Amino acid sequence: MQTLASRCALTIAGSDSGGGAGIQADLKTFAAHGVHGLSAIAALTAQHTRGVTAVHVPPVAFLRAQVDACFDDFDIGAVKLGMLANAEVIHAVADALETHRPRYVVLDPVMVATSGAKLLEDDALDALRRRLLPLASIITPNVPEAELLAGTRVDNAGAASTALGHLRALGARAVLLKGGHLDEGRTVVDRYDDGVTDAEFLHDRLDVDGHGTGCTLAAAIAANLCREMAMADAVEAAIDYIGDALRAGYRPGKGDVTVLGHLAARP
């Protein structure tokens, strides 16, 4: 038996019936890191490679029952938060985290899918900011998400650094601002700050735009934290994992969408 799998990672997120993003991506990512994956489904999407056709949000009492069942039995090393759909769900998740106090919370502030589908209601932004940022060990926004959360425009390197500071001031202990939306040539710069360490992780811009990349990155960070890595190392290894998974990507449906190939993570 692998010893690594005794510590579990829990994803609280949305399901993607197309298997590329959300809960499905998270569980594949945990497995690729040798970490046992648990899931509490906050929302269900009917989705394929051409978009989201419907969304169903189960009653929050049932979400809470899933989270409690996981904490009642498993040694949870890290929780990953993804699509939470609306303010009521956010409050329920924050209440559950305040009860169970997991060691690490990795918050991917999912708002809009690459396809344009809205995955978080507009009036939920304030709840996300007030309830979840203070509980987050790390938050992993892309540029549009960082702009909405921090309330500042992020259109260049200086503005990105300022946004990192704003997001930490809102309570997130560490921030990884993904730079894919900024035009910095052939290189993408992901900026990281935890108050002690700040770093820029540079990687080549790949021609593929993978579906579920954000979900997978946050899940890989959570898995690496379960493997006892320090936060900055967990982030760097997760960025490497995304590069490998994108290079192993494939197109499972009729749409112009690449799904990540989840190969075993580097030890």
Q: How many residues bind ligand PLP (CB under 6 A)?
A: 19
Under the binding rule (CB under 6 A), the answer on residue 217 touching ligand PLP is: no
Smallest gap from Cβ 55 to ligand PLP, in A, equals 9
Smallest gap from Cβ 121 to ligand PLP, in A, equals 14
> Interaction with ligand PLP in 58-117: which residues (CB under 6 A)?
82-83, 110, 113-115
Ramachandran category for residue 151: left, alpha or beta (phi over 0 → left; psi -120 to 50 → alpha): left
Query: Contacting ligand PLP (CB under 6 A), which of 48, 129, 211, 227?
Result: 211
If the CB atoms of residues 215 and 234 are measured against ligand PLP, the closer one turns out to be 215
Q: How many helices and strands (H and E) does the chain possess?
A: 8, 11
Under the binding rule (CB under 6 A), the answer on residue 220 touching ligand PLP is: no
Q: Is 195 exposed, middle or buried (0-12, 13-18, 19+ CB in 10 A)?
A: exposed
Ramachandran category for residue 13: left, alpha or beta (phi over 0 → left; psi -120 to 50 → alpha): beta
What is the C-alpha separation between 203 and 259, in angstroms, rounded?
19
Task: Report the residue number whose CB is nearest to ligand PLP.
Answer: 22
* Interface pattern 9-38 for ligand PLP (x via CB under 6 A): ----xx-x----xx----------------
What is the C-alpha separation between 109 and 178, in angstroms, rounded?
12
- Residue 49's alpha-carbon distances to 16, 18, 93, 253, in angstroms, are 10, 7, 29, 6
What residues make contact with ligand PLP under the rule CB under 6 A? Answer: 13-14, 16, 21-22, 45, 47, 82-83, 110, 113-115, 119, 211-215
